[in-house]
Structure 1
Amino acid sequence: MHANLITPSSIIASVKAQQKTAWESGNFGVVAQYNELAAEEFMSRLPLTSSMTVLDAACGTGNLAVIAAQLGCKTSGIDIASNLIAQARHRASHLGLNINYMEGDVEDLPYVANSFDAVISMFGVMFAPQPRKVVQEMLRVTKPGGVIALACWTQEGFIGHMFQVFRRHLPPPPISTPSPLEWGTESIVRDRLFNGIGLLRMTRRTTHLRYPFSPRETVDFFREYYGPTRKAFESLDVIGQKALLADLVRLQEEHNVSGNPEVTDTPAEYLEIVARRL
């Protein structure tokens, strides 16, 4: 487990700039549409009512925000990637929903204290490089008695195995920050949410990543549209790209439970975190 990492602000700014570039490459909106069922399942278990103010933190194209707004919540969304915010706004307009989207940093939220009844995030805030600051900000903008609800991939699940594949093929990052997968470990989450939280419930869930493509085509799909995967391939030479491709295809094939080689259906575990602010 990482201790409180103290990293010079200029280095953290560089990390965030690289993350922003990665998420803005490709077209995550194409990928996000395949996560809508998981978002619906996650949101169905949260105690949201139409009278609530809700923030979708690291919202991407707004899968959670859309559902909250459809429930009648006064909804906001924030993300570091400007193109994803643009897509989220277009999506909300197309659906006739009033959602206040803003480009910004989840480690420095542009909202006054006690603004929201619920702060929610699905596979989003877990990627911020300074988790302690994320926690501080989520607590700050959540009203007393409000809910913080997160869904975060686990080390033991499919996405954790995929992280291992990338680590085998990519050089270690020049700057050490906590792994996003630490948000999928109960003991670490309990430590991070120790202060300012009353009720804390953590439940391991499994969602299915379903794509109407073969395992090889699924890897190609992510290579084209998912920014971090796109950037990973671009960082390697031709031989390295072929080796990474082979291992990713093998991983998809090993975990595919569809029974159809032309369809990919992969069970993926995540940790559902629901906390009540004191």
Structure 2
Amino acid sequence: MNDHDAYWSAYHYQAVADKLSGISRHLVQEADITSRHRVLDVACATGNAAIYAAQRGAVVTGLDFDPMMVRAAGQRRDRLRMSVRFQQGDAAEMQFADASFDRVLSTYGSMFAPQAEAAATEMLRVCHPDGMIVMANWNPESVITAMFQTLHELHPAAESIRRIARMWGTATGLRRLFGPTPRIHTNICHYHVPATADELASIFADHFGPALRVVEELGESAREQIREKLLHLFTQHTAAAPDGNGVCVDYLYAKISPA
């Protein structure tokens, strides 16, 4: 297992992905995916968006740099008896022909690519000129961005994503990444996580790769400290939803038309 694999810890991450899966479902709905479409899910993690797209009959490929994520996504696909191709690859150097996909999706995944400009260029290249790139990225004001910062302040082994969120989670940042030609539409969306602040704090403390890395560095006693800090943070973002209270998570929705 290399450092990147250990950082995200795929087999733990599914507990987090389950709680955030509504964002992937929204992305697939907004992309208006049908059985006519060839779909690429970039930095697919354990495959939420890819699986939702496949449920609509599309021909779907999921790409992730982390081999553990790819294996975990493949296991989910097999359990669900879905038809999705998951493969390992670099978002900044994709092994697909130009204009291979009608829809290119990314649910707060490609924003973590080390080579941001190259990843944006590749997403444009593999997207058909008449297709669209549809993304959900953590914006600077999101509670998730604040959560990363909280973990980073406990130990730098957990990455701060403030700079990344300014690049990928704002309209200005996306225009710098993708250039002047594509048409870019953005808006801030609000997702109510179906969990109490206490439940969500425990899920992140026990299953989120960056939090687990902090525990690894500081010792098991740090887990309760993480839980308490995240509980305080998530409580500040608890809001009423149609089906009860939940933690409100903001993200930037972006639709990018290459031509």
Q: What TM-score does the superposition give when structure 1 sets the normalisation length?
A: 0.82
In 2, are the aligned partners of 1:24 and 1:82 still within 8 Å (CA)?
A: no
In 1, are the aligned partners of 2:145 and 2:161 still within 8 Å (CA)?
A: no
Name the aligned partner's letter for residue 59 of structure 1. Answer: C
Aligned pairs for 1:197-208 (under 5 A) are: 197=182, 199-208=183-192
State the match for 2:248 in structure 1. 267
Q: CA RMSD in A?
A: 2.6
Unmatched 5+ residue regions in structure 2? none
Task: Give 2:230's match in structure 1, choosing from 230, 248, 265.
Answer: 248
State the match for 1:29 in structure 2. 14
1:257 aligns with 2:242: no
Distance of 2:233 and 2:160 partners within structure 1 = 26
Aligned pairs for 1:1-278 (under 5 A) are: 18-24=3-9, 27-171=12-156, 179-182=163-166, 183-197=168-182, 199-211=183-195, 215-237=197-219, 243-257=225-239, 265-278=246-259
Distance of 2:26 and 2:161 partners within structure 1 = 31
Name the aligned partner's letter for residue 117 of structure 2. Answer: R
In 2, are the aligned partners of 1:129 and 1:178 still within 8 Å (CA)?
A: no
Distance of 2:161 and 2:29 partners within structure 1 = 33
In 2, are the aligned partners of 1:24 and 1:81 still within 8 Å (CA)?
A: no
In 2, are the aligned partners of 1:20 and 1:80 still within 8 Å (CA)?
A: no
Larger radius of gyration: 1
Q: String of CA shifts for 1:139-169, please: whole Å, max 9, x gaps.
A: 1211222211110011112112223322332
In 2, are the aligned partners of 1:135 and 1:193 still within 8 Å (CA)?
A: yes
Distance of 2:226 and 2:238 partners within structure 1 = 18
Q: What TM-score does the superposition give when structure 2 sets the normalisation length?
A: 0.87
Q: Could you tell me the percent identity over the aligned residues? A: 27
Q: How far 1:222 moved relative to its partner?
A: 1.6
CA shift in 2, pair 1:242/1:177, >3 Å:
closer
Q: How far 1:50 moved relative to its partner?
A: 1.4
In 1, are the aligned partners of 2:38 and 2:100 still within 8 Å (CA)?
A: yes
CA shift in 2, pair 1:25/1:139, >3 Å:
closer
Q: How far 1:240 moved relative to its partner?
A: 5.7
Distance of 1:172 and 1:87 partners within structure 2 = 24
CA shift in 2, pair 1:204/1:178, >3 Å:
closer
